[in-house]
């Protein structure tokens, strides 16, 4: 067995062919990183669509890498010019929103819901207007393994919890209970497709590199990174690649480095604090903020 990550194909389906832009925007709340990384100089992040690198570039020196050349080229263009593109994952979410009228979700009701700020009102509105039996049935079917398998490689689904539709509905309810809608751009994006607008980047503080995270980190000077944010690259990586990544983090981490990583999976250990409810994107099952030493010990 060799170290492998499903992201290496540059295609969500895992099919062979030219790499594609998978993410036109990121579904991660980079404000989590902005708070956690305060006072730290050198940051390593996954490039993806560039949102996290763009936000962090105003207070940090950022090295952003991605294994997908098409994604790196897109992130570079977005950082330099603000250009925005629809990626393959974005298309799937747009496809899902087409079913809203069929399950009784009216545009005006969605707009009224997104304008709310009171958490109790939000929860009541959600239960009354959206959390219907028809919605639950349709949502669970859309996120069933057979349907997802038509779009995503099996290795990108293997870590998902059973009954993923039901699990993700619970995460949405959790987010609605924690974050005022009117101040949350992610819920407007999720429900209406409103594009996210990250702040303009400071391009001179961002260095983009094409390559897998472990290889890139191995190439950096020892102890040169003060903070890491790894997105969910561990989703879809086999055990050998995970070990390669831990070794590379150990090489690049400064003595008090901090690391953030996300997963669509549920937390594997109750002993590690889970901060997923603090991410306004509301999609994640796991969001760990750890010292690099603790990350390496697991």
- Please name the helix (run of DSSP H) or strand (run of DSSP E) that holds residue 73, with its range, or none: helix 69-81
- Going by DSSP bridges, is the β-strand pair 286-291/253-263 parallel, antiparallel, or unpaired? antiparallel
Beta carbons within 8 Å of 200's beta carbon, 6+ residues apart:
54, 82
Residue 177: what pLDDT?
A: 96
Residue 142: what pLDDT?
A: 96
List pLDDT tens digits, range 108-117: 999 999 999 9
Supply φ then ψ for residue 42, to 5 degrees: -105, 125
Determine contact, residues 39/98, Cβ cutoff 8 Å: no
Confidence class of residue 194 from pLDDT cuts 50, 70 and 90?
very high
Dihedral over Cα of 27, 140, 21, 2: its sign: positive
> Distance of alpha carbon 281 from its chain centroid, rounded?
8
Least confident of 48-57, 86-95, 215-224, 263-272: 263-272
pTM: 0.95
Confidence class of residue 25 from pLDDT cuts 50, 70 and 90?
very high
Residue 298: what pLDDT?
A: 63
Pairwise CA distance, residues 93 & 201, whole Å: 26
Supply φ then ψ for residue 262, to 5 degrees: -120, 160
Residue 203: what pLDDT?
A: 96
């Amino acid at each position: 067995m060799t170290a492998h990550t499903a992201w290496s194909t540059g295609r969500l389906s895992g099919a062979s062919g030219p790499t594609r832009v998978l993410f036109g925007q990121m579904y991660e709340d980079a404000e989590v990183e902005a708070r956690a990384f305060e006072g730290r100089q050198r940051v390593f992040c996954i490039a993806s669509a560039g949102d996290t690198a763009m936000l962090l570039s105003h207070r940090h020196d950022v090295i952003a890498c991605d294994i997908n050349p098409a994604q790196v080229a897109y992130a570079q263009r977005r950082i330099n010019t603000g250009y925005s593109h629809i990626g393959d994952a974005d298309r799937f979410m747009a496809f899902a929103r087409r079913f809203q009228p069929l399950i009784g979700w009216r545009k005006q009701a969605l707009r009224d819901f997104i304008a709310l700020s009171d958490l109790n009102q939000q929860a009541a509105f959600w239960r009354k207007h959206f959390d219907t039996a028809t919605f639950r049935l349709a949502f669970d079917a859309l996120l069933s393994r057979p349907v997802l398998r038509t779009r995503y490689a099996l290795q990108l689904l293997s870590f998902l919890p059973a009954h993923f539709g039901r699990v993700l509905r619970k995460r949405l309810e959790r987010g609605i209970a924690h974050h005022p809608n009117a101040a949350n751009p992610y819920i407007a994006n999720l429900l209406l497709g409103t594009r996210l607008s990250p702040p303009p980047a400071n391009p001179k503080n961002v260095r983009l590199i094409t390559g897998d995270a472990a290889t890139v980190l191995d190439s950096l000077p020892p102890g040169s990174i003060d903070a890491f944010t790894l997105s969910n690259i561990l989703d879809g990586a086999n055990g050998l690649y995970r070990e390669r990544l831990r070794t590379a983090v150990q090489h690049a981490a400064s003595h008090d480095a901090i690391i953030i990583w996300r997963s669509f999976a549920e937390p594997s250990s109750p002993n590690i604090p889970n901060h997923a409810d603090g991410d306004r994107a509301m999609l994640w099952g796991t969001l760990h903020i750890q010292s690099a030493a603790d990350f390496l010990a697991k």
